[in-house]
Amino acid sequence: MTKYFPKHTVQWHFEEPTILRRFSLSLVEMALLTGIVLRLFRALVYTQAASNWFLWGGSIVLGLLVLCGMATMHLANFPVRRWVLKAPLFAIVEVAAESLTSAVLIWLGREPTGSARAEWGDWLPMALDTLLLRTVEVCGWALILAGVVTVVRRTMLREEKVDEDTVEDPAQV
């Protein structure tokens, strides 16, 4: 049996979280990186893959995978009940990062909108569209993920209860 209460404090071993884990704990850092990467990726795809439908569709799927993956990495650090606030907040910070990146790209004259370059008048409608889309995507994904996590946890708890019931000698547990 593991000793949870050692006799001497020298026996305590603290595990420092890895760099990726520490990074994933920060909502702001995760969402900012996601927003910048997605907006730059969008600008690249819109300029390079406009005529290739297969490449354009694949890039949408890849962008959605990046968004959901980064949201999952962050949300996995917290209990499901805290996701109610964390998921929309992640989406809002991610959209803020995307909008700021879009503003920089418009300033540089590199932000595409359809077959033309975006202008300052296009910035607010693009930001609002992005806010709506990302909020639906992140919150929808968090809802699906919460359902899966809940089902898996209940299944695991049921299996653990069955394992405890099959043990005849309580001292073996």
Could you read off the pLDDT of 33-66 as tens digits, one per residue?
A: 999 999 999 999 988 876 788 888 899 999 999 9
Evaluate whether 152 touches 159 at the Cβ level (below 8 Å).
no
User: Whole-model pTM?
Assistant: 0.81
Provide the 10 A C-beta neighbour count for residue 167: 10
Provide the 10 A C-beta neighbour count for residue 58: 13
Top-confidence residue, 45 or 165: 45
**Tokens 């890895």 — which residue?**
18
